[in-house]
Structure 1
């Protein structure tokens, strides 16, 4: 499972305030904490109004100075990406392109620098409502990206997680993920898991349960809080149960290192 740390997101109030001040130590600490907690990639979102072009590159340089893992560039701004992509020391992931006409303006930048790409299931019609529209949008995205030279292994389909409190979106999403994986063997599935719990109490409980269900349907990358110890424990156990951890080697290693004990106490 590719764990993408979600905490460096300038659209969040506290993080945005630190970005306004260019508080370097705040962001260095967030990056280190996520890497130590088990993130294999760090998401960087510099989405402050009128500052994204400069801020995204500032964050890329800052984060790479303290952690040696790839970055996920969370931006739909071609200018910001054009400036930030060449600064990446390891091949990054871009979050995200979608099937909206304005988002395809990113394609020349993506073709020039060849990052891995999250393909978000949004279309000209807006957010998906069911199974069929998610699968249809995913198919258009994957077909166009592969036609433009992107390998399936470089594409991460995001089925667009919607708040559970607004309708039965989760059951449609789970069914869609299964169909997408069956249609495109080798493509990856990613998700911003925490969107599912928006507006609900005990959000961590909902997030952790939903993540496990998604993994059973084919999820192999997730933008989550790696400092959520219970969630990280659930991922280790689920990977073993789903046959992704041969002889439970990763699970046993985590236990021997005391990581599961720490989770149990938390």
Structure 2
């Protein structure tokens, strides 16, 4: 599974404080921890006013790149900010994110189409100018729009991570049925595409959140999720990823699961 480490995000109070103080060691430590936990990408989100965002992301990206060569997920709700901040990365990473809203696709996809940026990937949210669609059929209509635009710019499906938009379970009318239907349909239509989710969104405002997160992760992976925005240092959650891949027949002879246990990534703390 593709693990997008979520621990460097200015919406987290401790990270916001470190950003305000320009505490580079704090950012570096979080990057180091996630790299050691086998993250695939290190997400980098400033969560500051847009006027300060490019400069702040530049500083944060430099901090991360000082301690790891893992690719960076450059995270901003602004396509204009992404179009500037990605240049600070020393290697191809992940645009996080675009959607069917406004001109976001036409801002980021042309950048990805450039010869120098052929290895860049993108997270695409299934929302548009109307907001987050309530039903699976409407989210899939946004998906079709995104894929039509990707074809126009010759962006291969394997470079796209579709985010079906996980909402709070406690306020959802149909539980996770919409998400599961979207994940399964996207996977059936495009076997080579990636499907991602911010796993912890499902459990907001609920007690014992980790139980909901773990249950959702198993269901979503069974439906076709192969990418996740999560905390790779959470041994229980990471162990569940390896275990589920083994149970789904995605890990020949359970070698990845055994290796993760042997390397101390999962299982009891040694």
TM class by shorter chain equals over 0.9
Q: Which residue of 1 aligns with 2:146?
A: 141
State the SS of the aligned residue for 1:261.
coil
Deviation at 1:16, TM superposition (A): 1.1
Q: Which residue of 1 aligns with 2:64?
A: 63
Q: Which residue of 2 aligns with 1:127?
A: 132
In the alignment, structure 1 residue 205 sits paired with structure 2 residue 211: yes
In the alignment, structure 1 residue 153 sits paired with structure 2 residue 153: no
Unaligned segments of structure 1, at least 5 residues: none
Asked if 1 retains the 8 angstrom alpha-carbon contact of 2:83 and 2:107, the reply is: no
Q: Which residue of 2 aligns with 1:249?
A: 255
Asked if 2 retains the 8 angstrom alpha-carbon contact of 1:76 and 1:106, the reply is: no
Q: Figure out how many residues of one structure are paired with residues of the other and give that number.
A: 264
Q: Distance in 2 between matches of 1:259 and 1:78?
A: 35
Asked if 2 retains the 8 angstrom alpha-carbon contact of 1:76 and 1:103, the reply is: no
| Worse-superposed segment, 223-232 or 10-19 | 10-19
Deviation at 1:67, TM superposition (A): 1.1
Q: Which residue of 1 aligns with 2:17?
A: 17
Asked if 1 retains the 8 angstrom alpha-carbon contact of 2:112 and 2:155, the reply is: no
Q: Which residue of 2 aligns with 1:94?
A: 95
- Relative to structure 1, the CA distance from residue 169 to residue 103 in structure 2 (aligned partners, 3 Å threshold; closer, same or farther) is farther
State the SS of the aligned residue for 1:95.
strand
Q: Distance in 2 between matches of 1:229 and 1:203?
A: 15
Offset from partner CA, 1:133-164 (integer Å, 9 cap, x none): 12111121122112211011101100011110
Offset from partner CA, 1:102-150 (integer Å, 9 cap, x none): 4235234444444211110111211121211121111211221122110
| Worse-superposed segment, 224-233 or 139-148 | 139-148
State the SS of the aligned residue for 2:7.
strand
1:1-266 pair list within 5 angstroms: 1-49=1-49, 50-104=51-105, 106-107=107-108, 108-112=110-114, 113-114=117-118, 115-167=120-172, 168-262=174-268
Offset from partner CA, 1:237-257 (integer Å, 9 cap, x none): 001111111111111112223
Asked if 1 retains the 8 angstrom alpha-carbon contact of 2:10 and 2:48, the reply is: yes
- Relative to structure 1, the CA distance from residue 124 to residue 82 in structure 2 (aligned partners, 3 Å threshold; closer, same or farther) is closer
Asked if 2 retains the 8 angstrom alpha-carbon contact of 1:128 and 1:160, the reply is: no
Offset from partner CA, 1:162-198 (integer Å, 9 cap, x none): 1101112411101111011111221110111111111
Q: Distance in 1 between matches of 2:222 and 2:93?
A: 26
Q: Distance in 1 between matches of 2:106 and 2:53?
A: 17
State the SS of the aligned residue for 1:157.
strand
State the SS of the aligned residue for 1:235.
helix
- Relative to structure 1, the CA distance from residue 78 to residue 180 in structure 2 (aligned partners, 3 Å threshold; closer, same or farther) is closer
Deviation at 1:258, TM superposition (A): 3.7
Asked if 1 retains the 8 angstrom alpha-carbon contact of 2:10 and 2:47, the reply is: yes
